[in-house]
Amino acid sequence: MTQRIAVYPGSFDPIHNGHLDIIERCRPLFDEVVVAVLRNEEKRPLFSLEERVETLRELLADHPECRVESFSGLLVDFMDKIGGRAVIRGLRAVSDFEYEFQMALMNRRLNPRVETVFMMPKEDYSYLSSRLVKEVFSLGGNVNGLVPEIVLARLHKRLRPPAPSAPVTPAVV
Ligand code: PNS
């Protein structure tokens, strides 16, 4: 029997709880869920591709039906490469719709074998985006409960590293 493989693509810079909620919702619907991290170094992401992939692999380590891969180039080509049929995209609000609709139709034109499936995250996360997480955190705001612990730790390390201890100046006598 053919495996039903879904691909959940994105930048995941960083992954937040809204993304994880979508992955949880996909798991019972497909045989395999491939989380596909876009190589987008030209957009100067906060976390490197390797860091984003590593974080996701850590978070999904207990889910054998989830795989984390990176990709560059066209998403539809990646879909063909791994035999994926469904692209999963999260829809948070009507404002997401226009861009997502354009992307879904373009992807369908490029590769009619690919279907896009839209999923709604839990309402608590309907305002959440990676961009807001980075902005709020870098300005000193609290993002507890919006990102997993390991992402919080990585945000601290990257954006609020501990201040270097003051050099010890010899006492002048
Ligand atoms: O999390 P994001 O940044 O909204 O994800 C966007 C993503 C990765 C799904 C989209 O940019 C993408 O598919 N990029 C790959 C290049 C491609 O296929 N472009 C044509 C899209 S119609």
CA of 49 to the centre of ligand 1 (A): 15
Q: What confidence tens digit (pLDDT) does each residue in 121-161 have?
A: 999 999 999 999 999 999 999 999 999 999 999 999 999 87
The tokens of 90 are what?
């999260």
Q: What confidence tens digit (pLDDT) does each residue in 151-172 have?
A: 999 999 999 877 777 777 776 6
Q: Give the CA radius of gyration of the chain.
A: 19
Q: Is 130 a catalytic residue?
A: yes
Residue 69 CB-density burial (10 A; 0-12 exposed, 13-18 middle, 19+ buried): middle
The pTM score is 0.93
Task: Give the integer Cα–Cα distance in Å for 29 and 11.
Answer: 23
**Which residues sit opposite 118 in a β-bridge?**
89
Residue among 52, 89, 130, 134 flagged as catalytic: 130
Q: Is 19 a catalytic residue?
A: yes
**Chain-centroid distance, C-alpha 124:** 17
Residue among 16, 52, 89, 92 flagged as catalytic: 92
Q: What confidence tens digit (pLDDT) does each residue in 27-52 have?
A: 999 999 999 999 988 889 999 999 99
Return all residues near 40 (Cβ < 8 A) that are at least 6 apart.
11, 13
Return all residues near 91 (Cβ < 8 A) that are at least 6 apart.
97, 100, 118, 119, 120
Q: Is 157 a catalytic residue?
A: no
Ligand 1 mutation pick, 7, 11, 41, 100, max ligand atoms within 8 A of CB: 11
